[in-house]
Structure 1
Amino acid sequence: MAIIDPNSGAPLTNPDDVSSPSGQSVDPADYIVDIDMSNFQQVVLEGSMQTPVLLDCWAPWCEPCKNLMPVLEKLAKEYQGAFVLAKLNIEEHQQIAAQLGIRSVPDVKLIMQGQLYDQFQGALPESQIREWLSQYIQAPGDAPASPEEQAQAALDAGDATTARSIYQQLVQENPTHYDYQVALASATLADGEADKARNLLDSLPPEHRDSPQAKGVRARIEFGEEAPDREELDELEGRNDSEAIYKRALRHVADGDYETGLDALLSLMQTDRAYGDDAARKTLLRVFDALGADHPLTVTYRRKLFAMLY
């Protein structure tokens, strides 16, 4: 994996090739770059095509920034060039900050392949930052992430296309490993192709077609079909009757905002249990299927549902 020379901004293929202004080699721990208008394009956008860039947006008056920066610098040294730490002083470079939409600091953005992959705000604990980084960047000495872990990291970052490609390769290599086919259907659905996801599920052998994982993907497909579109949502604006509550809950679930949707369905059960022939309770059970029995939200809301019923 190439890295960026902190002095020239150019990509390098060998960490030992980084040079100081005097021409002497420097330790990989020095891959920490101050960003301004002259090098933002080269280091952050172009450089991230080869090496992930952690963009730390900070300000001199920000105390949490002062606490966070040493942690990020420590991690940059430990990762030995696996990512470049790019530090942006938003006070000195307000134009860049405005283009990035920075509203508060510290704001840390992970840039990969020229795209924003993930971000966090605030001075998180070191352990939490390490866990966050490990989703995307392999630390020195770590075992390479499995294809399944890579696919999940891509999904978590909103990159369903990459996850789908990984699962397609796994299916080709393991044609009778049907869990991979279900996972491919899930990634295909996340990639916006519900019909292809349904076809993948329908092509499974009967004993796998009704597995909990497959039923969950199918439930998500159905929620996407049942949920109101933007035009219908606009028509529901200002309404707080049972139908409006139910349809908005469906939209939340279809969009992946499960907690908001589940809360709305529970509320509807309390106020109008008869609506849609007990539609709120039945839909709650379908959401549980979509999430899976072990999902934290399933566990939490099953308890709430049980308490409400009994």
Structure 2
Amino acid sequence: MQPRNMSMRGVVDLAAVKAAGDAAQKAEQARAERARQTAAGGVPPVPLSVVLDVTEETFEAEVVQRSAEAPVVVDFWAEWCGPCKQLSPILERLAEEYEGRFVLAKIDVDANQMLAGQFGIQSIPSVMAVVAGQLVPLFQGAVNEAQARQYLDQLILVAEQRFGIVGGAVGEGRPEEAGAAAEAPEDPTLSAAHEALDRGDLGGAIQAYRNVLADRPSDEEAKLGLAQAELLQRVQDKDPQAVRAAAAGDPKDVQAQLDAADLDLVGGHVEDAFGRLVDTVGRTAGDDRDRARLRLLDLFEVIGAEDPRVAKARSALARVLF
């Protein structure tokens, strides 16, 4: 569930703000400085809010920049939406309880239609996250508190393990953890692959990840990066309207369904992408069925085997196959 750079048509161009690595480095320096001032007897830092009402004007500062210090969960909602009124209080309560391990950004889709359009929001509530400037799809529709905790715990783990982003007590630095991260530099070959992906050099990123996997076939981070880079390369020149029209016009057109599933995933509609491909597997045979099945497995790699939506889709795939 942790794409590094899902900035394609229909999704906010997060990569255009600043390099995520630079933002993360500045955030670490700021946290360390706040901690140093506090330890030296200075004025304690002003606590930062963990629940924000975000607009198109404040999105960059309150979501993209804040995402270098802690995962930012983005809740798209509207006043007239009944399920939103069920979900939003749960997310707000958990944001306070988690004390800065994630920040909740609430976006009213009626007041911020451009943002909703850029994210490809088609139904609400719809929840995504931004980590180190990168878009991470979470879930659509209302979920209960236990399910929300599961998604949030997974997001926090991903933010730390994949991006080195560790939130903490609101307004407090965590210099000992920042120091530990600095003492464990990333593998230079893998770092080069990540940098190629972040700057949009998809061909270079794909080759770099393949080089890593040639030496370390079991490297999970390289597998994830390769799956993401290949997905972005597949969709970069696609016309979303034309692809969706082709897929809707002919459900038996396997290539159209594959292309539409890719766009679904890039737009954060994970379950739609999985469901489309499961249905395609179910209605096809032979080589066409195998193409759809393999593409679904590729998308599982992008999202991550631990994601509950992957487990659900695997079960659905098994039902149509056997």
Q: Normalising to structure 1: TM-score of the pair?
A: 0.48
Larger radius of gyration: 1
Q: Normalising to structure 2: TM-score of the pair?
A: 0.47
Q: Which has the higher contact order (CA 8 A, sep 6+)?
A: 2
